[in-house]
Structure 1
Amino acid sequence: MRLRNRSLVTRIVLLSVGLLLLIQLAVQLVVRSSIENSVRQNLQRELSADEKVWARLVEQNAQRLSLGASVLASDFGFRAAVTSEDEETIESALENQGARIGATIAAFLDTSFQLKAIANAQDAALSSQSLTALGQAMARDGQQGRMALERGRVHQFVLVPVRAPLVVGWVLMGFAVDEALSTDMLAVSGAHVVIVNQSSGQPVQLLHTTLNNPPLQALAEGARARGLVTVAEDQYAVRSVALDAASPSLQTYLLRSSTEARAAFERMKTVLLLIAALGLLLFAVGSSMLARRVARPLDLLVADTERLGRGDYGQAVNDFGRQDEVGNLARSFDRMRLNIQASQAEIRQLAYWDRLTGLPNRAQFREALQTAADEAPTLAVIILDLDRFKHINDVLGYAFGDRVLQTVARRLHHLAEAEQALAARLAGGEFALLLAGAQAPEALALAAKINQAFVEPVSLDGQTVDLSAAIGIACWPMHAQEPDVLLGRAEVAMYVAKRKSLDMQVYDASLDSTSAQNLSLLSELRQAIDGNELRLFLQPKIGLRDDSVVAAEALVRWAHPVRGMVQPMQFIPFAEQTGFVRYLTLWMLEEAARQWKSLQPENGTLRIAINLSTRDLMDLDFPQKIDEMLDRYGVPREGFCLEITESAIMDDPQRAETTLNQLAASGYKLSIDDFGTGYSSLAYLKRLPVSELKIDKSFVMGMEQDESDAKIVRSTIELAHNLGLTVVAEGVENARIYALLAALQCDEAQGYYMGKPMISTDFVQWSRDWAARPRAAA
């Protein structure tokens, strides 16, 4: 997060140096690992050489000692003393010769290897038995330089025969070699020496060392594992060497310091670190210079983009004369500048002008209205909407409708120029004129001229279309203090004129009172659903063959907390206009499904009929919604009948047909409500998956007095039966109509004669009462 907040130069430098630093760290780790491996390998190689040097030193010392003993053994006086068994002379010769060659032990053994004489009085304490055993072993093996532990020190012994001329005895000389050999070894090879005695079952005994307090157990383990052993804050590689094969308890440890072995490598590491640090510094400087070379043009491009963002497209973007990616980016920005400049010109044209008619659009008209309101003391807004324009598009096509709009625009434009007014197209077939410095009389006069201009029909491609429009007028400041409000009130007046089939209408506050009520009504309708204010009412449907209750139509009533019981005609049309009817339909479906099981008779199935609106049929997800709802309450599909008006189907026949096919496939019974009042019933009847027709009550209620209505009812019943459909007649107000419908073999009847709409909780008892009535009473 911190890196993203830094400048581009800083990020490039940090990333570049960071990557190089990671590489350097990786190199250092590899070098360190390589150095460690090299140090260990070099230490082992050096210890192998040290082992040979040690063996050579031991061998050379044995040769030197053997030569000194041989000189004594060949001395004529010494041999004479041996022959004469002159012990004093023998001891004196041993002492003198031992002193000359540095022997610490000098002894004469007879041919049976028994001790006969020994130099130095303190040596008398030596065990003659150990010297006898040593002499016998050396004579038997023919080995010179035998190592043995005597008087707590390691001695190297040599055995030389005394001949006169036969062997008359043996000269045995021992030399303390621990300190001498160790010193020579350290001087010759630089390896430290630790000599120990590892007698079986005894603690390890340190005999001599060139180090201070070496850990003997760690030395043994390090020698076996060929690892490093810590001694006095340093680490040593260890190699174990036997002093003498005949004396396995005597061991020598040769040690090499890893610090000394690393010294050369440490110097190399220091040089590498210096090189790495210098490289980092040079890389940081170089990457900073490179980043600045990239970032400087980008900073200039940022300034250019900010200028473009302010809408200044006149100055070209500098490409710095570069042919690299930065230059390409700059040239791309310049091409973008040109494209935006062209697009902005087109957008301004689209934003303020209607492309089809060439007139100002709603946005420009509103700005002109705002300007005029600021400058003129009075003004008038005229809004007109073409009559039957949707029908023109549906019948003659949208291309023809566009040409009609162009013709209307030309007429309005010429009229506006003559009256020094501004004409604009707001949307669809809706136009507006702004008349500055005018009031209602001038606006009414202009509206009359507009109507006069529409007297002449439009003739295009042999087709003649009559024009007319509903005109609404609102004046400033009398009708509104804000331009948007003035536009809205002119539209209110226009809609009133269209609804009342007037040529023109001036805004009046009384005309707009319903708008505020409608806003309040929509809010209250939402609260009605959330606050459980709606009630489900049912009106029974009677089967005319056996007078049984076969179905009921679901109706909604609104138990308003202030207005009391609100009838459907007071809120259903408004709900249909605003689209809120979809929520009412879903509420009725869910409430009916919730109560369905409690409404069922002991024998048979009671269907509940629900009216669907145009909005419901346009919702392609509607079938899935009610399927999920009925599944949730465990209600079968045949328990519901969905009633659709012809007008709902005709708004969008193809889309409605798709929805109805889905509903029929799910198992719902479909019924066409108010049959006979539409325009294209027969054309679509054969295509729609309906199973029931519901004759509109306007025909049923009049069939008793009007023969034409009776014929329509009879024909509809016959048509439906021929098509395999059942028929429901609504509006049955008396027993006479009930009997006529039964005679015409109508299937079901619905009306006040049998039962008025009642709250669903009373319906079950009413059904029992109806079944208990004598048939003659019906």
Structure 2
Amino acid sequence: MTDMARSYWRDMSLSTRIVLVMLILLLVVQAAGGAVVRAAVEQLVRQGVRTELEVGERVWQRLLDLRAQRLQEASVVLAADFGFRSAIASGDQGTIASALDNSSARIGATLAVMLSPDFTQSTVSEGAPPVPHEVFQHLGTQLARVPQGGRLARIGPQPYQFVMVPVKAPVLIGWVLMGFPLDQRLAEDFVRLSNVHIAIVSEQSDQTLVPVVSTLPRVQQAALVDVVRQRLSSVTLGEDIFAVRQGAMGATDGAMRAIFLRSISEASGPYRQLQLHLILITLGGLLLFAVGSHLASRRVTRPLKELTEVTGVLEQGRFDIAVQGTQRHDEVGQLARGFDRMRTSLAQQHEQILKLAYWDRLTGLPNREQFRDRLVAALDQAGQGPLVVLTLNLDRFKHVNEVLGYAFGDELLKVVAARLQQHVGTAADLVARVGGDEFVILLTQADAQAALAVADRITRGFEHPLALGEQTVDLSASIGAACWPGDGDDADTLMSRSEVAMHAAKARTTGVVLYAPALDSSSAQTLSLLSDLRHALAHEELRLYLQPKLHTASGQISAAEALVRWQHPERGLVPPMAFIPFAEQTGFVRQLTLWVFEEVARQWSSLQSAEAGLRVAINLSTRDLLDLDFPQKLSAIMARHGVQAEAFCLEITESAIMDDPQRAENTLNRLAELGFKLSIDDFGTGYSSLAYLKRLPVSELKIDKSFVMGMADDDSDAKIVRSTIDLAHNLGLSVVAEGVETEAILQRLRDWRCDEAQGYLVSKPMPAADFIAWRQRWQRR
């Protein structure tokens, strides 16, 4: 099937396809039946024709036998006639000729001859054709040799049927020879009797074949020669095919053959009429079948079309439509009932989806989507007056979940939702929960002063502890407000700026803050900062810096900490605090960590000296530890540059570990298995316990610079540093002190056996390209 046919078939309606398929099947069946009938008819016709030819041959032979019998009887009567014998005895030729004429005329013979006993003399009837005596002499000689009866012979080209009887008185006194010509009239009589054509072909003395008698038209007689010569069983004459049967004529010289022909087309005429009737019946049946199939298919497809219309209505979100055909008891009825059940189920699911889409399942309040829709509608009708969006976030709610459990926290959110609804002034106002412990309130017909009054009431309401069962909880809330039309023109802007004000209130711990453009001044910068960082990473604006670490016992530079700097094409060298915290907040710090690791691995071999190898420390963030694929990424970088894990020290802050201790521990274990040295950075500023620290696969502690720098003026800081060094050594860990800026501090660290020191006394961070020369100068000094 071509592509066009496939496309046309796909575009057909189902009812048309059903009708076409059924009609094609019926046509195939009728064609197969017609082919069988045609083959059977053809076989019957040919068998009937063969039978008719056999019968025709017998009829022809019977016809000749009857004529021979008539000739025989007439000849016997003539030979027994006394007067005829007397005329023969007296030699009266006139009487003999007259008797022959009378006798041949009586039986219709065209030739009557009286031959002498030795065939030397002959007397011929007066109406006989002129024939030489030698012919009669030869013919008499031939007939005398055969038994009594008729024989065929030729006189010239014309075939004759002859009978010869003796004349005795009482001895043989002569022979009476009578003959009938086998002419066209006899052949036509035969055709009328048998409905079979006949042709008599005679072989001449020069062996040429000549049809001497034929019921066929003259233009078709030439093919008879080929029939005889090639012994054909069928021959095409004109536009018709004739079945052929050949038979010997039994002539005295054997040079004549009878050919019987029967028209196959004529014989199959009645069957063709029957076939025509069958074709008409088939066409009528096809027409009736097509009409019936169309009606039946419409009966099937009409309900399907109705059900299809139902699906269109359901697609539009209308589920109140009635499904037709559910009362039927057939398969269509079952399908209709199935559609009706589906409609009911979809209606229920649609209702549930709408509820999930626009309502908060926990508190029963509207969710963010419904709140936004209501806010958009309120802005469309904002000509009635100003409105305010309040965003509220509970303080310390995370602590409640951690201490009292999430189930208690959920119940607490329900109580908060109920309290907030009490502060809604009109039916047009709305309270919604937009996620976690964050709520929004829409105040219509309210300005900034009214919003502050509502926020103040909410804040005072949180001064009373929330009682839930036997547990009492003190909570507070941070609230931000954005007013229309001054703070935004659309719903999204108002909600965003209300949230900005809420974050400002949480940062200031002031309870309520009205939005002001100054609160949002950094937002535009941070929106572009992420794009700038991506651009910097892609266009090689980042630079690798190294800050050396001094081995306190030997005075050698044993390690260095890798740092990243941003060489902005317009702003110059961007300080790390201007983009590292933002990168940690957005997650881009993971790309920065991989960039630093890649650069260190690429330059590692050039950073080594002949005196001692250099280990490079790289800082990891919380997001790096939570990335399950992070160890594999580092392995791929090392394999690419041919560097071993022992060349690196990975520094992790305590806070990064404690954000998700279990995942961090799993990642650290995998890094340790790869051979990395692990170090706890900023030790002393976090919240990790010694018991948990003991489980981590770390081999180094890095004391925070706030303690090291304070050693000169505060004995407490000095005690903390010395205790940390002793603790680390007791745990089998090495110690690095950062923030070393004076010789006195470095000397005290040497006295306490601190392993390494890092700070401005040794060197500030420097570009990696300058580090090699600086290290050589340090070693010489």
With over 3 angstroms needed to count, the CA separation of the structure-2 counterparts of 1:29 and 1:349, relative to structure 1, is: closer
SS of the aligned residue for 2:264 comes to strand
For 1:68 and 1:749, the matched residues in 2 are separated by 157
For 1:21 and 1:71, the matched residues in 2 are separated by 72
Does residue 1:718 correspond to 2:716, yes or no? no
For 1:292 and 1:244, the matched residues in 2 are separated by 75
**Partner amino acid for 1:29?**
A
With over 3 angstroms needed to count, the CA separation of the structure-2 counterparts of 1:435 and 1:251, relative to structure 1, is: closer
The structural deviation recorded for 1:472 is 1.9
Aligned twin of 2:36: 34
**Partner amino acid for 2:542?**
R
For 2:208 and 2:580, the matched residues in 1 are separated by 111
Does residue 1:698 correspond to 2:700, yes or no? no
SS of the aligned residue for 1:262 comes to helix
SS of the aligned residue for 2:686 comes to coil
Partner deviation per Cα, 1:645-684 (whole Å, 9 max, x = no partner): 443443334445555566667x463635526243336555
Does residue 1:290 correspond to 2:299, yes or no? yes
Aligned twin of 2:496: 488
- The equivalences for 1:549-564 within 5 A come to 555-564=563-572
The structural deviation recorded for 1:464 is 4.5
Decide whether the 8 Å contact of 2:53 with 2:260 is kept in 1: no
Does residue 1:465 correspond to 2:473, yes or no? yes
Partner deviation per Cα, 1:76-113 (whole Å, 9 max, x = no partner): 38999999999999999989877876778888999999
The structural deviation recorded for 1:347 is 5.8
- The equivalences for 1:748-763 within 5 A come to 762=769
Partner deviation per Cα, 1:555-589 (whole Å, 9 max, x = no partner): 44434332233344322322332333444455556
Aligned twin of 1:539: 546
For 1:308 and 1:388, the matched residues in 2 are separated by 46
For 2:742 and 2:294, the matched residues in 1 are separated by 105
- Of residues 32, 54, 57, the one that matches 1:55 is 57
- The equivalences for 1:333-352 within 5 A come to none
For 1:506 and 1:46, the matched residues in 2 are separated by 115
For 1:549 and 1:146, the matched residues in 2 are separated by 147
SS of the aligned residue for 1:678 comes to coil
Partner deviation per Cα, 1:101-133 (whole Å, 9 max, x = no partner): 67788889999999989996665499899979x
Does residue 1:707 correspond to 2:718, yes or no? yes
Aligned twin of 1:357: 363
For 2:208 and 2:618, the matched residues in 1 are separated by 107
Q: Comparing 482-491 with 163-172, which one deviates more in the overlay?
A: 163-172
Partner deviation per Cα, 1:377-432 (whole Å, 9 max, x = no partner): 44443322112212322332110111222333343344556999754433211123
Decide whether the 8 Å contact of 2:199 with 2:258 is kept in 1: no
Does residue 1:14 correspond to 2:20, yes or no? no
Decide whether the 8 Å contact of 1:73 with 1:160 is kept in 2: yes
Partner deviation per Cα, 1:600-659 (whole Å, 9 max, x = no partner): 889999877655544444444556666667767777777776655443443334445555
The structural deviation recorded for 1:46 is 0.7
The structural deviation recorded for 1:274 is 5.0
Aligned twin of 1:190: 195
- The equivalences for 1:652-663 within 5 A come to 652-657=660-665
Decide whether the 8 Å contact of 2:620 with 2:652 is kept in 1: yes
- Of residues 479, 482, 487, the one that matches 1:474 is 482
Decide whether the 8 Å contact of 2:735 with 2:754 is kept in 1: yes
Does residue 1:497 correspond to 2:497, yes or no? no
Decide whether the 8 Å contact of 1:53 with 1:185 is kept in 2: no
Higher radius of gyration, 1 or 2: 2
For 2:396 and 2:287, the matched residues in 1 are separated by 87
**Partner amino acid for 1:280?**
F
**Partner amino acid for 2:500?**
V
Q: Comparing 735-744 with 580-589, which one deviates more in the overlay?
A: 735-744
For 1:377 and 1:775, the matched residues in 2 are separated by 77
With over 3 angstroms needed to count, the CA separation of the structure-2 counterparts of 1:312 and 1:169, relative to structure 1, is: same
**Partner amino acid for 1:28?**
Q
With over 3 angstroms needed to count, the CA separation of the structure-2 counterparts of 1:640 and 1:194, relative to structure 1, is: farther
The structural deviation recorded for 1:279 is 1.4
**Partner amino acid for 1:674?**
D
- The equivalences for 1:583-622 within 5 A come to 583-585=591-593, 611-620=619-628
Decide whether the 8 Å contact of 1:559 with 1:565 is kept in 2: yes
TM-score (structure 1 length as normaliser): 0.75
Aligned twin of 1:515: 523
TM-score (structure 2 length as normaliser): 0.75
With over 3 angstroms needed to count, the CA separation of the structure-2 counterparts of 1:159 and 1:357, relative to structure 1, is: same
SS of the aligned residue for 2:220 comes to coil
- Of residues 278, 282, 293, the one that matches 1:273 is 282
With over 3 angstroms needed to count, the CA separation of the structure-2 counterparts of 1:488 and 1:251, relative to structure 1, is: same
For 1:473 and 1:592, the matched residues in 2 are separated by 49
**Partner amino acid for 1:264?**
Q
With over 3 angstroms needed to count, the CA separation of the structure-2 counterparts of 1:125 and 1:528, relative to structure 1, is: farther
SS of the aligned residue for 1:721 comes to coil
For 2:758 and 2:155, the matched residues in 1 are separated by 137
**Partner amino acid for 2:544?**
F
With over 3 angstroms needed to count, the CA separation of the structure-2 counterparts of 1:367 and 1:145, relative to structure 1, is: same
For 1:591 and 1:144, the matched residues in 2 are separated by 133
Aligned twin of 1:400: 408
Does residue 1:674 correspond to 2:681, yes or no? yes
Q: Comparing 536-545 with 35-44, which one deviates more in the overlay?
A: 536-545
Aligned twin of 2:3: none
**Partner amino acid for 1:707?**
A
The structural deviation recorded for 1:43 is 1.2
With over 3 angstroms needed to count, the CA separation of the structure-2 counterparts of 1:729 and 1:197, relative to structure 1, is: farther
Decide whether the 8 Å contact of 2:117 with 2:173 is kept in 1: yes
Unaligned runs of 5+ in 2: 1-6
With over 3 angstroms needed to count, the CA separation of the structure-2 counterparts of 1:582 and 1:106, relative to structure 1, is: farther
With over 3 angstroms needed to count, the CA separation of the structure-2 counterparts of 1:163 and 1:105, relative to structure 1, is: closer
For 2:560 and 2:222, the matched residues in 1 are separated by 107
- Of residues 63, 69, 77, the one that matches 1:67 is 69
Aligned length: 752
With over 3 angstroms needed to count, the CA separation of the structure-2 counterparts of 1:28 and 1:190, relative to structure 1, is: farther
- Of residues 390, 396, 401, the one that matches 1:388 is 396
Decide whether the 8 Å contact of 1:617 with 1:656 is kept in 2: yes
Unaligned runs of 5+ in 1: none
**Partner amino acid for 1:508?**
A
**Partner amino acid for 2:40?**
S
Decide whether the 8 Å contact of 1:105 with 1:123 is kept in 2: no
**Partner amino acid for 1:403?**
E
Decide whether the 8 Å contact of 1:72 with 1:97 is kept in 2: yes
With over 3 angstroms needed to count, the CA separation of the structure-2 counterparts of 1:188 and 1:751, relative to structure 1, is: farther
Aligned-pair Cα RMSD in Å: 5.7
With over 3 angstroms needed to count, the CA separation of the structure-2 counterparts of 1:354 and 1:12, relative to structure 1, is: closer
Aligned twin of 1:569: 577
**Partner amino acid for 1:539?**
L
With over 3 angstroms needed to count, the CA separation of the structure-2 counterparts of 1:324 and 1:262, relative to structure 1, is: closer
